[in-house]
Amino acid sequence: MSMWNREKETLSRDEYASLQLKGLKKSLSRVWGNEFYRKRLVLGGVSSPEDIKTLDDLKKLPFFTKEDFRKAYPLKMNCVSRKDLLEFHQSSGSTGTPVVMAYTKGDLLQWAECMARCYYMAGLEKGDALQVMPTFGLFNGGFGCYHGCRKAELFCVPASSGNTERQIQLLRDFRVKAFVSVVSYVPRIIEKLDASNYRDLPYLKVGIFGSETFSDETRKRIESRLGIECFDIYGMTETGGIGTTGQDCCCHNGLHVWEDQYITEIVNPATGEVVPDGEYGEVVFTSLTREAMPILRYRTRDISRILSREKCACGRTSLRIDRITGRTDDMLIVKGVNFYPRQVEQALKEIPGVADEFQIIITEEEGIADVMIKVEAAEGVSGHMVAKHLREKLGFLPKGEVMPIGSLPRTEGKAKRVIRITR
Ligand SMILES: [Zn+2]
């Protein structure tokens, strides 16, 4: 199977651990020279970078959040000389001060390395044409794809966003094998394609989608209409941009995180405690090799879980996390237990006869919340069975109600799973 960097993508657990400890110490000593980080760390109880002696000591570091990035606008978190900065990107800032990420030459190479790994993981290789549909500009997507193309020596079609007819023309004329885009743009391409004289895109084999979550159903629909294989690329401005924190491989059993580049923790968003493997929580990243603005215990607000630390069938050894399907903002707290709609979905799937559609109805009366799970299922499945199984999985007993298949309301796009009623 093709791999961009076989050596670094197939390290043993011990090798990852030793690289991680070295990288962690390096990142810490790097940020210690920056006033903004140092104040934050001292406030969080760190007296010197020497406090960190083992990987387990990572827990002694305070968390960093998007708020920190905003307070540090524009470059208070920059740890290198201004002369060493080559580029920066920033989030849209639509919900407040933008988040800025600046890059040294080394940071751009690190980004390109991660992207090259993603491209190869999606089955691409030198000479393949890749169409870049994210915007080239302040948003990191366009340039990140481009840096990766340079590194992996792909034939870059720098289309940027918009003008769907031209996108289709380019896909055909330049025999494009893969494109990178947000998943919500794909229906637009399909619509234009259906209305055009072409109908299909004969050279296209791969779609790489980032920055939005999407369901398995959406994936299947796109795959069958366009005749392509879809990949889910992961990364955000704060971690260094698109692709920096991984992607799924040909086995599509979770996202491989580049463990020689980042430490992954999954924490309980309410308590900050690290949760056991397999349990859902908030994804927290610590960068090991980034120079201008390393991140330490950065809380992403993305919800996932560690699926496996074992070697994958693709040959890669890096840990796999579940595809991101929720944000900490989705977290529900009922009877002192916190859970996510995604967990309910997962648990329901384990009951034979239960269909895909469900609703979580939270009724609050005088401050006491009650949960009812309505789910579509075949005959023979009872509400009691549903409730019992959910108690085992979630740790509290909801009410269960089973409805005939096709009776819950259907919505276009993202389904409304949670309904709150206050009495
Ligand atoms: Zn794999």
Same domain (yes/no): 200, 264: yes
Cα 312 to ligand 1 centre (Å): 5
Residues lining ion ligand 1 (Cβ < 5 A) are 249, 251, 312, 314, 316
CB 76 within 8 A of CB 82: no
CB 404 within 8 A of CB 378: no
Cα 403 to ligand 1 centre (Å): 38
Same domain (yes/no): 270, 407: no
Cα 313 to ligand 1 centre (Å): 6
| Distance from C-alpha of 144 to C-alpha of 108, rounded to nearest angstrom | 9
Sequence-ordered list of residues with C-beta below 8 angstroms from that of 95, at least 6 positions apart, any chain: none
CB 347 within 8 A of CB 389: yes
Q: Which tokens is 71 given?
A: 């307070």
CB 226 within 8 A of CB 201: yes
Cα 226 to ligand 1 centre (Å): 24
Cα 309 to ligand 1 centre (Å): 11
Same domain (yes/no): 252, 392: no
CB 284 within 8 A of CB 300: yes
Sequence-ordered list of residues with C-beta below 8 angstroms from that of 326, at least 6 positions apart, any chain: 213, 302, 303, 340, 341, 342
Cα 304 to ligand 1 centre (Å): 17
Starting at the edge strand found earlier in the chain, the sheet holding 326-327 runs: 262-267, 281-287, 298-304, 326-327
Cα 16 to ligand 1 centre (Å): 16
Domain enclosing residue 84, as ranges: 1-328
Where do runs of H (alpha helix) occur along 153-233? Answer: 164-173, 186-195, 216-226
SS3 240: coil
Q: What is the pLDDT of residue 211?
A: 79
* Burial of residue 387 (number of CB atoms within 10 Å: 0-12, 13-18, 19+): middle
Cα 93 to ligand 1 centre (Å): 34
Residue 29: its H or E element: helix 13-32
Same domain (yes/no): 400, 270: no
Cα 317 to ligand 1 centre (Å): 8
Instruction: Pick the last residue of a domain from 328, 360, 381.
Output: 328
Q: What is the pLDDT of residue 413?
A: 52
CATH code of 337's domain: 3.30.300.30
Same domain (yes/no): 132, 198: yes
Cα 407 to ligand 1 centre (Å): 38
Same domain (yes/no): 46, 182: yes
pTM: 0.86
Same domain (yes/no): 78, 160: yes
Cα 275 to ligand 1 centre (Å): 23
Q: What is the pLDDT of residue 415?
A: 62
Cα 314 to ligand 1 centre (Å): 4
Cα 324 to ligand 1 centre (Å): 16
Same domain (yes/no): 113, 172: yes
Cα 334 to ligand 1 centre (Å): 36
Instruction: Pick the last residue of a domain from 328, 350, 369.
Output: 328
Cα 232 to ligand 1 centre (Å): 13
| Unique residue bearing structure tokens 């059993």 | 253
What's the half-sphere exposure (Cβ side, CA atoms, 13 Å) at 104? 14
Bridging pattern class, strands 326-327 and 332-334: unpaired
Q: Which tokens is 207 given?
A: 């779609």
Q: What is the pLDDT of residue 163?
A: 94
Cα 288 to ligand 1 centre (Å): 22
Cα 251 to ligand 1 centre (Å): 6
SS3 90: strand
Same domain (yes/no): 322, 350: no
Using alpha carbons, select from 1, 5, 2 the residue that is nearest to residue 259. 5
Same domain (yes/no): 270, 174: yes
Same domain (yes/no): 341, 323: no
Cα 256 to ligand 1 centre (Å): 7
CB 363 within 8 A of CB 372: yes
Q: Would you tell me how many other CB atoms lie within 10 Å of the CB of residue 276?
A: 9
| Distance from C-alpha of 404 to C-alpha of 190, rounded to nearest angstrom | 33
How many domains, in total, are found in the chain? 2
Dihedral (CA of 181, 184, 189, 190) sign = positive
Q: What is the pLDDT of residue 80?
A: 98
CB 113 within 8 A of CB 138: no
Cα 130 to ligand 1 centre (Å): 22
Same domain (yes/no): 297, 392: no
For 276, phi then psi, to 5°, come to -65, 155
CATH code of 33's domain: 3.40.50.12780
SS3 assignment for 120-137: HHCCCCCCCEEEECCCCC
Instruction: Pick the last residue of a domain from 265, 294, 328.
Output: 328
CB 417 within 8 A of CB 359: yes
Q: What is the pLDDT of residue 407?
A: 87
Cα 289 to ligand 1 centre (Å): 23
Mean pLDDT by 10 residues, the chain (423 residues): 94 98 98 97 96 96 96 97 98 83 98 98 98 96 98 98 95 97 90 88 96 81 95 97 97 97 95 94 97 98 95 97 86 80 85 89 83 92 93 87 87 70 82
